[in-house]
Amino acid sequence: MSSSRLIFTTTSVAEWDKKIAAGLRQTCKRLSGIHEDFRTHSIYAKFDEIFAGGITFEQRGNILWLDALWVEPNFRNHGTGKQLMEKVIQFSVQNNVKEIQLNTYFPDAHAFFLVQGFEDVAVIPNWKYGLDCYMMRKKICPPKL
């Protein structure tokens, strides 16, 4: 195959996006030895029928990766994020999770997670979007019987 015949485009093609995702997933499985997909979960908060916030996360074995936490601006500073995190902690205990891991770029979120008991594992300055990336974790202790 001659590289001189390659044509480049920025037009998004759903089928190609799926091929990229599948290729990355297969490479991750090969390198990590993990051959089943992560179990993805979401928890939502609503006030009456109004979306207040949500959290998405994946579990693999005893590690939970927090993908996203979002609280609508009108519901911030009222305990919504804290309550969503409490639901994730409850899920973690029930499912034998030993550690929650995440990364965040946002200073307010970083401060929030510190208050929630997370610790910084690493900080990558000027990472994505020109923002510092905070890699964080929280150990989950099983309940005392």
* pLDDT score at 3: 64
* pLDDT score at 38: 66
* pLDDT score at 45: 95
Judge whether 114 and 107 are in contact, CB under 8 Å.
Answer: no
* pLDDT score at 94: 94
Judge whether 58 and 73 are in contact, CB under 8 Å.
Answer: no
Judge whether 54 and 45 are in contact, CB under 8 Å.
Answer: yes
Q: Which CATH class is domain 36-139?
A: alpha beta
* CA triple 69-73-79, angle to 5 deg: 65
Q: Tell me the C-alpha distance between 104 and 50, whole Å.
A: 26
Tokens of 131: 């923002």
* pLDDT score at 129: 86
* pLDDT score at 69: 96
Domain boundaries, the chain: 36-139
Alpha-helix runs per DSSP H in 55-106:
80-94
Judge whether 41 and 64 are in contact, CB under 8 Å.
Answer: no
Pairing state between β 39-47 and 50-60: antiparallel
Q: Tell me the C-alpha distance between 54 and 49, whole Å.
A: 14
Q: Tell me the C-alpha distance between 108 and 105, whole Å.
A: 9
Residues of the chain with pLDDT under 70: 1-3, 35-38, 143, 145
pTM to 2 decimal places: 0.77
Q: How far apart, in Å, are the Cα atoms of 130 and each of 79, 103, 116?
A: 29, 15, 25
